[in-house]
Structure 1
């Protein structure tokens, strides 16, 4: 079952202007070390960070909270599998919110997809709950 859907569109030039103006202060406030490492290894750091910015915005929307309700930017982190597929890892308040919205006997999966075509970066996040056979086996049956 789908628990939440979020999308966001970010302007790469706007992210570049923010990097130029605030530098590491912006980088360290919004992005994790892993995200920054990935971005610094890419030809277009701003495009890489803009996609991750959009993913964090989209994830906060999928969680039903937006960023105004206590989720920290760094509570949501995008990394990539060896195949290049992006994955979203939640920690802190974002992980707590995800646990609250996940029905008992299910496990949550956060799907994320990213794209960019200068000057735009876009992300979609879908949060899915799948029955967890292991957890369901441990549930007591009806009395």
Structure 2
């Protein structure tokens, strides 16, 4: 059963300007250490940050919270499963909100798709409840 859907579209140049202006302060505030490591190892560093930014925005919409009520940027981190499929790992307030959405006897599955075609980056997040095994 679908619990939430969120999408976001962002101009990569906006993230580039924000990083130029605020630098590490912005990166530390928004991105998890794992996201920073992945982005900083890529040739398209800014696009990688932009896609993850869009994924966080989409996730906050899928949760129905936005960035309020104890949900913060770093509470949502884009991670890759061993298969390479991206998903979001939630902690803190985002995890608390997610846990409230999931019915008893179920667990959450977060599907994420992220893409970019300069100058735009896009993310779509679908949160579903699947029965526990």
* Unaligned segments of structure 1, at least 5 residues: 134-143
* Unaligned segments of structure 2, at least 5 residues: none
Q: How far does residue 56 in structure 1 lie from its aligned partner after superposition? A: 0.2
- 2:30 corresponds to: 30
Within 2, Cα distance between the matches of 1:116 and 1:88? 18
Within 2, Cα distance between the matches of 1:48 and 1:40? 9
Residue 3 of structure 2 corresponds to residue 3 of structure 1: yes
User: What TM-score, normalized to structure 1?
Assistant: 0.90
Q: How far does residue 70 in structure 1 lie from its aligned partner after superposition? A: 2.5
- 1:80 corresponds to: 80
Give per-residue Cα distances to partners, 1:77-104, cap 9 Å, x unaligned. Answer: 0022344321110000100101001000
Within 1, Cα distance between the matches of 2:123 and 2:111? 10
Within 2, Cα distance between the matches of 1:87 and 1:94? 14
Aligned length: 133
Within 1, Cα distance between the matches of 2:3 and 2:55? 17
Give per-residue Cα distances to partners, 1:36-94, cap 9 Å, x unaligned. Answer: 00000011111000000000000000001111332110000002234432111000010
Within 2, Cα distance between the matches of 1:83 and 1:45? 22
Within 2, Cα distance between the matches of 1:68 and 1:11? 23
Within 2, Cα distance between the matches of 1:100 and 1:82? 27
